[in-house]
Amino acid sequence: MKNVQVNAIHLKDYIAPSFLVNHVDLEFILEPKKTIVTSWLKLTRNPDVGGPLVLDGDELRLLSIKVDGKLLETSKYAQDNSSLTVDGLPDTCVLEIKTEIDPALNTQLEGLYLSGGNFCTQCEAEGFRRITFYPDRPDVMATYTVTMHADLKSHPVLLSNGNLIDQGVGKNGKHWARWHDPFPKPCYLFALVAGDLACYEDSYHSGSGQDVALKIFVEHGNEDKCAYAMDALKRSMRWDEERFGLEYDLSIFNIVAVSDFNMGAMENKSLNIFNSKCVLASSDTATDLEFERIEAIVAHEYFHNWTGNRVTCRDWFQLSLKEGLTVYRDQEFTSDMRSAPVKRIQDVRTLRARQFPEDAGPLSHPIRPETYIEINNFYTATIYEKGAEVIRMMQEILGRDGFRKGVDLYFERHDNQAVTCEDFVVAMEDANDVDLKHFRLWYSQAGTPEVDTTWSYDEVNKSFTLNLTQYTPVAHGQEGKRPLHIPMTVGLVGRDGKDLPLILEGEEGKQGETSKTLRFDQEQQSFTFISVDQCPVPSINRNFSSPIKLSTTYSDDDLRFLMENDSDAFSRWDASQNYATRLVLRMVKTIQEGTELEYDSNYAQALARNIADETLDPAFLAQMLSLPSIDYVAEQMQVADFAAVDQARTFLKAGIARELYEQFLELYMCGKENTAYSPDAVSAGKRAIRNVALGFLGTLKNDPKGLDLIVGQYEVSDNMTDRMAALTLLASMEGEVGEKALKSFEQRYSHDTLVMDKWFAVQAISKIPDTLGQVKNLLTHPAFSYKNPNKVRALIGSFTGANPAKFHADNGEGYRFLADSIIHLNGINPQVASRLLSPLGGWRRMDGNHQKMMKAELQRILDTENLSKDVFEVASKSLA
């Protein structure tokens, strides 16, 4: 490591700010290469805390400082490369600071930058300090008035938070606008946009009778791709009123879509800024999954208006306070809009694919971390998705009404405050008169708990005993794990496939329940159900009531039985995943031993009975028929062998395809609809099952019929979902048929940058022999740019993160390619660079040869000059 200043921040060091800011006046003279920012901060000394005023600043050119209108002598302040310290200020004053910044040079996309010639901002977490000197911490909340001056012709739209209060035309082709946000907010929620944008408008009439103007601003030519996001926004607003009693609080709500954005979107007060990928959709350009994602992200950002903006975080260690809670809220929204079981299954897939590995690896951290070097590295699956699971468990424990009471009390107590995760839990406790002391451990303890279960049936006493043992493996730096309070929902399935009534020993009073949430809070616990008149198969952790890894003593027969009978849709699906994982792992062993692979048809037969069950929702059936990913199966091995898992999984898939050939053909043919495309969940479910069927047919080599269907679908489909499903299959086929489809797709969509991302990604995840060579060639394609995060993620990220068998190639070329990419991106955009890194952190789970190569690449990254804090933190923790 060279030239890195390592400075870890610790939760235990928190101290309140020495000065509070009552109001901020900002003025921007916007020019691409030279923007002048003047701020007037109305300051009050915090009586509880002493010390000078310390303002954060990053890559700013200080022009002048004035206190109450008088120029401050240079001896009264001190500046280094990250702060400005002013001593001897009166208890209240107005501090005026003038700075110069260069938005055109800002390739980090944090602070004020240009995207397609338009000015925009991203301030979370610490981007505001790249705009002006400020106490850049979320517990400093102020009202803002913002005046912007820009060129009228090139930047006719001027936006900031709150309400437009004045505007005018100035000299030399300039114009200006002034916005005022009446709600006190931390600076990470500040936003500004100045550009030449088209506007898609609508309005919303709230439950209490307020009218809200809704506007989505996009680059010209994209107006026809806003309708779905707008509809999702209106449904979110309605849903939040109905489910949580939360109404919008201003008469205007703006969304701006930009092409260059580090993450998905940002909840700036009344001026959400989105990655255009998370807004723009039409049947010809977006897949069903993308429609669903847009709906969820629009909702997520909108929901932040209460969970995040009205009540915000005291410090960044509390990030999950707003993110976990808001993810939980958007998940609930989606399950109300679409299918609840399918949503739950998708979320668990994501959790298992992204959060479980993170929590088992070198970057493991609790949902409320205790230390960080670069906060941007902590926008993780743990903070977001595990955070949401922790909220969900509380709602499981307290019930929906109890949870709602807790949320109500939380807002009653903390509106307009910057608070902690603890405050949220206390509100839950106080509103319900319960003690969640033990439960809190979920906030501070990292790692995924592993729960072992055994059970026994007592024929004589007609009782069934479930024995649970929990253990949380030691993740990085956290010894001495304690048992957690795990809400464990279980059911007992009788021989006829129906749930048996549950009577827990000692709780004879309650009757009629067939699912029960057990309080499992010790290392070992047994639960006995009485009056169980036959030996059942237990269904455990129904609806994934807790984010754990479950290990059971199910026989193959038990799993097939649950696959066909469990009344809990999630557990039914999980039994299927479990079974398939088992089969693939058995085959991996055979491959490693060098013996002949054998195909076991029992799994396919259980799937066939699901296909034959006409009561099943097609979207759910599509999930039942989707095999666990290569990553997920490899994750279950002591030493991961991606090549063998890939081979075994493909073998299983082809076996199923051969065995259920007729069923898949029928699913494909019968699901065909002649109506125009609609992105709704029911229509999407029908497409999903057809495309799953097509995927099975596509695994059969030398099957001209399957190939014809795929090519035919690619050529005639009227929507991106079907076209992309076919292209994905074709792109993995060697020779002309794949190349031809890719060429035609490129020609058709070369004008549409978001669709081109899909074209890059589909080639990066291809199974053709030289995928990496293809990816490297595409780096010089005119549509590719290292400066655009979507492009980097589509091409480089898809190869290194979503094509494990290729990435882990025995010659180490995949690793070298990733390290080269990170080193290059480090100088352009550290956040994007550091997010790409995680696959290299998995070296501990590889064999010695792969380990050596991966560690060497991590070391090479660490030896790079001018390494950013972002990359340094992830690379050094990955290697440690």
3 state DSSP class of 70: strand
Residue 266 binds which one of Zn ion, ligand ARG, none, with CB within 5 to 8 A depending on kind?
Answer: ligand ARG
Closest CB 674 distance from Zn ion, rounded Å: 40
| Region of 587 on the Ramachandran plot (φ > 0 left; ψ -120 to 50 alpha; else beta) | alpha
Please give the Cα distance from 626 to 100 (Å, whole number). 54
For ligand ARG, the binding residues in 820-859 under the rule CB under 6 A are 831
For ligand ARG, the binding residues in 152-211 under the rule CB under 6 A are none
Find out whether 175 and 199 touch, Cβ atoms under 8 Å.
no
Residue 488 binds which one of ligand ARG, Zn ion, none, with CB within 5 to 8 A depending on kind?
Answer: none
Residue 360 binds which one of Zn ion, ligand ARG, none, with CB within 5 to 8 A depending on kind?
Answer: none
Residue 657 binds which one of ligand ARG, Zn ion, none, with CB within 5 to 8 A depending on kind?
Answer: none
Please give the Cα distance from 669 to 683 (Å, whole number). 15
Which residue in the set 301, 358, 659, 873 belongs to the binding site for ligand ARG (CB under 6 A)? 301
| Greatest Cα pair distance in the chain | 94
Stretch near ligand ARG under the rule CB under 6 A, chosen from 120-128, 427-435, 673-681, 744-752: 120-128
Please give the Cα distance from 285 to 677 (Å, whole number). 12
Taking each helix axis from N to C terminus, what angle separates 813-826 and 771-778, rounded to the nearest 10 degrees? Answer: 20
Which residue in the set 26, 60, 97, 125 belongs to the binding site for ligand ARG (CB under 6 A)? 125
Which residue's structure tokens are 């302040």?
Answer: 77
Closest CB 304 distance from Zn ion, rounded Å: 6
Residue 352 binds which one of Zn ion, ligand ARG, none, with CB within 5 to 8 A depending on kind?
Answer: none
Taking each helix axis from N to C terminus, what angle separates 569-593 and 602-612, rounded to the nearest 10 degrees? Answer: 150
With a CB cutoff of 8 Å and minimum separation 6, the contacts of 38 are 26, 27, 96, 97, 98, 99
Enumerate the β-bridge partners of residue 169. Answer: 175
How many other C-beta atoms are found inside a 10 Å radius of the C-beta of residue 615?
A: 4
Which CB sits closer to ligand ARG, 379 or 696? 379
273 HSE (CA, 13 A, CB side): 30
Which residue in the set 25, 139, 267, 332 belongs to the binding site for ligand ARG (CB under 6 A)? 267
In 449-548, which ranges are E strands? 450-458, 463-471, 486-493, 516-520, 524-529, 537-540
| Per-residue mark of binding to Zn ion, 317-346 (x: CB under 5 A) | ------x--x--------------------
For Zn ion, the binding residues in 788-807 under the rule CB under 5 A are none
Catalytic residue, candidates 219, 292, 295, 301: 301
| Per-residue mark of binding to Zn ion, 273-312 (x: CB under 5 A) | ----------------------------------------
Closest CB 213 distance from Zn ion, rounded Å: 24
For Zn ion, the binding residues in 737-796 under the rule CB under 5 A are none
Residue 307 binds which one of Zn ion, ligand ARG, none, with CB within 5 to 8 A depending on kind?
Answer: none
Please give the Cα distance from 822 to 859 (Å, whole number). 12
Residue 192 binds which one of ligand ARG, Zn ion, none, with CB within 5 to 8 A depending on kind?
Answer: none
Question: H or E stretch including 565?
Answer: helix 556-565
Which residue in the set 65, 218, 255, 266 belongs to the binding site for ligand ARG (CB under 6 A)? 266
Please write down the HEC assignment for all residues of 157-225: EEEECCEEEEEEECCCCEEEEEEEEEEEECHHHCCEEEECCEEEEEEEECCCCCEEEEEEEECCCCHHH
Residue 376 binds which one of Zn ion, ligand ARG, none, with CB within 5 to 8 A depending on kind?
Answer: ligand ARG
How many residues make up the chain in this entry?
880
Pairing assessment for the beta strands 486-493 and 516-520 based on DSSP bridges? antiparallel
**Alpha helices in 169-277, H assignment, sequence order:** 227-244
Closest CB 597 distance from ligand ARG, rounded Å: 44
Closest CB 570 distance from ligand ARG, rounded Å: 25
3 state DSSP class of 222: coil
Residue 174: both structure tokens together: 């300039």
Closest CB 129 distance from ligand ARG, rounded Å: 13
Which CB sits closer to Zn ion, 143 or 326? 326
What Rg value do the Cα atoms of the chain yield, rounded? 28
Please give the Cα distance from 319 to 11 (Å, whole number). 12
Please give the Cα distance from 322 to 326 (Å, whole number). 6
Nearest CA among 618, 727, 616 for reference residue 667: 618
Which CB sits closer to ligand ARG, 176 or 379? 379
Question: H or E stretch including 787?
Answer: none
Which CB sits closer to ligand ARG, 263 or 822? 263
Which residue's structure tokens are 């030493």?
Answer: 639
Residue 416: both structure tokens together: 């307009």
For ligand ARG, the binding residues in 602-641 under the rule CB under 6 A are none
User: By rule CB under 6 A, what count of residues binds ligand ARG?
Assistant: 14
Nearest CA among 828, 823, 880 for reference residue 857: 823
Closest CB 318 distance from ligand ARG, rounded Å: 13
Which CB sits closer to Zn ion, 313 or 681? 313
| Per-residue mark of binding to ligand ARG, 225-264 (x: CB under 6 A) | -------------------------------------xx-
3 state DSSP class of 877: helix
Stretch near Zn ion under the rule CB under 5 A, chosen from 217-225, 316-324, 563-571, 747-755: 316-324
| Per-residue mark of binding to ligand ARG, 371-410 (x: CB under 6 A) | -----x--x-------------------------------
Residue 125 binds which one of ligand ARG, Zn ion, none, with CB within 5 to 8 A depending on kind?
Answer: ligand ARG
Closest CB 130 distance from ligand ARG, rounded Å: 12
Which residue in the set 214, 265, 795, 818 belongs to the binding site for ligand ARG (CB under 6 A)? 265
| Region of 497 on the Ramachandran plot (φ > 0 left; ψ -120 to 50 alpha; else beta) | left
| Per-residue mark of binding to ligand ARG, 10-49 (x: CB under 6 A) | ----------------------------------------
| Per-residue mark of binding to ligand ARG, 322-351 (x: CB under 6 A) | -x----------------------------
Closest CB 355 distance from ligand ARG, rounded Å: 15
Closest CB 109 distance from ligand ARG, rounded Å: 8
Which CB sits closer to ligand ARG, 724 or 836? 836
Which CB sits closer to ligand ARG, 183 or 379? 379
Closest CB 262 distance from ligand ARG, rounded Å: 5
Residue 688: both structure tokens together: 């999903």
Please give the Cα distance from 819 to 879 (Å, whole number). 13
Please give the Cα distance from 86 to 78 (Å, whole number). 7
**Alpha helices in 56-125, H assignment, sequence order:** none
Q: If binding is defined by CB under 6 A, does position 124 make contact with ligand ARG?
A: yes
How many other C-beta atoms are found inside a 10 Å radius of the C-beta of residue 561?
A: 18
| Per-residue mark of binding to Zn ion, 483-502 (x: CB under 5 A) | --------------------
- Is residue 301 part of the annotated active site? The answer reads yes
3 state DSSP class of 491: strand
Please give the Cα distance from 251 to 701 (Å, whole number). 59
Which CB sits closer to ligand ARG, 254 or 771? 254
Please give the Cα distance from 152 to 174 (Å, whole number). 5
Closest CB 303 distance from Zn ion, rounded Å: 8
Please give the Cα distance from 214 to 203 (Å, whole number). 5
Closest CB 306 distance from ligand ARG, rounded Å: 14
Q: Which residues are annotated as catalytic? A: 301
Binding region for Zn ion (CB under 5 A): 323, 326
Binding region for ligand ARG (CB under 6 A): 122, 124-125, 262-263, 265-267, 300-301, 323, 376, 379, 831
